[in-house]
């Protein structure tokens, strides 16, 4: 498969060099693999740090900036960053008000962020953590004990980031982040396999004419494979899977997310079907975000994330944000 890269061994470093060139508002440490907002640490503000394997862009580096993350730690492709990166990031952004680690529920991320929290606290940094585990497709997977962390990560980083920007204390920011996790559920669908730079070809076998319902963002198996379905049928299946677990009693934030290889023409059509299903199920939609936000390299497919949002969560969602991949209100 053709890929726009030099060699697999430098693909992450090369991408970080490109990010630094495109976004001078960020401090990108290519050697140590840390992305930091240039004005950090911000006096009187709780700092948010997240990270994970590369290949899910714009997650997480694309969400560093006012209103979201203060720092992000990119690992190798589909590989957790190491504790040293996280400790370095926490030290760079801590203003003395504490640091919140936002952690997707994958075994490597969980273990490394736990170790980093202990090391950072040994250095005098107060750390709280929130675990994102929103994927309803499966209970356990190849890389996870419990539910996987997927699209709700964006909701957590945006809403908790807005609260931190307003000056909320660490315990309040962490409580809001956990409330977003509890209020959010996701479901993903793959139409094709993703190709990793190291392998140079498909990461898993998905025969022509079939799709994977409930796929993970690293290509982990989902609930079942079926012959190709229409956008209408996929939306019915995905939204019903989310609603069966979430049962929202309030309007929802809806993320209609591309997995990296789905054209916007298709994604907008799928988004229309998601809105149709929610309308038929009597679920009002407060806000919709549509595009490639939590990806899986070049996988063709989509995911749906819903977060039931009360007035406070909706206000924080609407609050100004200025990052490489998400910006409004400034």
CATH assignment of the domain containing 161: 3.40.50.10440
Angle between helix 83-93 and 107-122 (nearest 10):
50
Q: Establish if 44 belongs to a structural domain.
A: yes
At 121, list the tokens. 């606290």
Which of these, 324, 328, 327, lies nearest to 57 by C-alpha position?
A: 324
Confidence bin at 138 (pLDDT 50/70/90)? confident
User: Residue 237 pLDDT > 80, yes or no?
Assistant: yes
| HSE-CB for 12 with a 13 A CA cutoff | 25
Confirm whether 295 is domain-assigned. yes
Helix, strand, or coil (residue 147) = coil
**Is 316 contained in some domain?**
no
Task: For residues 113 and 202, state if they share a domain.
Answer: no
The two counts, helices (H) then strands (E), for the chain are 8, 14
pLDDT at 141 over 70: no
Range of the domain at 236: 184-310
Q: Tell whether 318 is covered by a domain.
A: no
Confidence class for position 230, pLDDT limits 50, 70, 90: very high
Q: How many domains does the chain have?
A: 2
Residue 193, domain member (yes or no): yes
Catalytic-labelled residue, pool 23, 56, 60, 143: 56
Of the residues 60, 143, 218, 275, only one is catalytic, namely: 218
Annotation says 56 is catalytic:
yes
pTM: 0.96
111-141 burial: b if 16+ Cβ within 10 Å, else e: ebbbebbebbeeeebbbbbbbbbbbbbbeeb
Q: Does residue 162 share a domain with residue 253?
A: no
Q: Is 218 a catalytic residue?
A: yes
Could you tell me if 249 and 145 lie in one domain?
A: no
Q: What are the pLDDT digits (tens) for 32-55?
A: 999 999 999 999 999 999 999 999
């Amino acid at each position: 498969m053709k890929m726009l890269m030099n060699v697999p061994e430098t693909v992450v470093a090369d991408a970080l060099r490109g990010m630094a060139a495109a976004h001078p508002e960020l401090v990108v440490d290519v050697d140590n693999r840390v992305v930091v907002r240039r004005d950090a640490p911000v006096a009187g503000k709780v700092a948010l740090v997240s990270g994970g394997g590369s290949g899910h862009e714009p997650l997480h580096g694309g969400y560093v900036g006012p209103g979201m993350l203060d720092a992000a730690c990119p690992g190798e492709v589909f590989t957790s960053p190491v504790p040293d990166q996280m400790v370095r990031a926490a030290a760079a952004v801590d203003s003395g008000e504490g640091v919140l680690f936002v952690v997707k529920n994958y075994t490597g991320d969980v273990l490394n962020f736990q170790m980093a929290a202990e090391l950072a606290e040994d250095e005098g940094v107060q750390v709280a953590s929130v675990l994102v585990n929103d994927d309803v497709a499966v209970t356990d997977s190849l890389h996870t004990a419990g539910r996987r962390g997927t699209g709700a990560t964006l909701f957590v980083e945006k809403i908790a980031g807005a609260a931190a920007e307003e000056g909320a204390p660490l315990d309040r920011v962490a409580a809001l982040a956990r409330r977003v996790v509890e209020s959010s559920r996701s479901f993903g669908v793959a139409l094709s396999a993703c190709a990793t730079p190291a392998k140079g070809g498909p990461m898993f076998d998905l025969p022509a004419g079939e799709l994977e319902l409930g796929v993970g963002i690293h290509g982990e198996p989902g609930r079942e494979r079926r012959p190709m379905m229409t956008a209408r049928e996929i939306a019915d299946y995905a939204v019903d899977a989310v609603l069966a677990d979430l049962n929202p009693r309030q309007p929802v934030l809806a993320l209609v997310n591309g997995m990296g290889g789905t054209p916007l023409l298709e994604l907008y059509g799928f988004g229309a079907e998601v809105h149709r299903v929610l309308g038929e199920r009597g679920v009002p939609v407060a806000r919709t975000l549509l595009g490639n936000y939590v990806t899986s390299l070049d996988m063709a497919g989509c995911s749906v994330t819903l977060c039931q949002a009360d007035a406070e969560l909706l206000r924080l969602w609407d609050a100004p944000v200025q990052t490489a991949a998400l910006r409004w209100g400034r």
